[in-house]
Structure 1
Amino acid sequence: MNKIYVWDWFVRLTHWIVAILFLANYFVLPKGSEPHQIAGYIVIGAVVLRLLWGLVTHSPARLSEFKPSIPKALDHIRSVIATGEDDHVGHNPAGAIMIWAMWALILITAFTGWGTQLDAFIHAKWLRETHEIFANITMLAVAVHISAIVVMTRLTHRSYVKGMWFQRKQ
């Protein structure tokens, strides 16, 4: 199936807000600066709103539509390698594991960053180090996510990126 599923506007909006601001915080904005903090707060808000959206929407973006399952993800990967097809609308089983992992990592990164600014933890070196460790793990997950999109696009000849651009359904 090569038809492109285009995510709803809210999913696309929150995806790109999180992606752009996480990358800006990781690569561009000075660590601990006010813009870095504001970007982190916006990321928390965007992820929380996306999770709330996933509770109320009636689309493939609904959280119950892509419950993480390692056995299903492995079966899916084997199937794609064998057939070159991915007929899932929305997240496939491997993508489900990745998105849940990324949401958790992003929230842990953001909340540990927020914690470093609280008076009770302002001098807690362990919390700053935890924040940096989770930022690095999150960046690794981002790299795996992007790599998986490239590999899946090549294996299935289906454009996964187009589903996240602002366009009409095809």
Structure 2
Amino acid sequence: MGAFFRNSIFAGAALTLASYEIGQIIRKKYRSALFHPLFLASVIVILILKIFQIEYEDYFRSARYISFYLTPATVCLALPLYDQLHLLKRNARAAAAGIMSGTLTSFLSVYLLARWFRLSRQEYATLLPKSITTAIGIEISEELGGIISVTTAVILMSGIFGSLMA
């Protein structure tokens, strides 16, 4: 099975998309926030990689097209926001206050936890972009010298936890 992933350019993408679809089905069936499709897809992919002893590098190489399209998909999120520009302008001070307080809280919490746990600069750079989109977080982590795969996991966990709390 590992050789299949090593030689395929889309096997990882297919596995990822199929796992997400299974996560969607499970969430619809049980209607619980605990069954977040992104979380379930991650668990399914990890289990399959472990069970069939597929190297992560082989999986990622064949799933890279999903990462490639992550940035344009993030940019597409701006379109609905642009449609509501009149609301943003009307509530500019509240929006700015929310953005500033969220940003400061995120940076301060990571900084204090990094100091408290005596994390290295690389570990701090890995955790710093935890509260932004994956596409932008990966770029920031890479630029600062963080561990990109851990940054991705932290961003996903942060997003899933936030949606569970909401």
TM-score grouping bracket, smaller chain normalisation: 0.3 to 0.5
- After TM superposition, the score normalised by the length of structure 2 is 0.33
- Structure having the larger proportion of residues in helix: 2
Taking CA–CA contacts closer than 8 Å with sequence separation of 6 or more, which of the two structures ends up with the larger relative contact order? 1
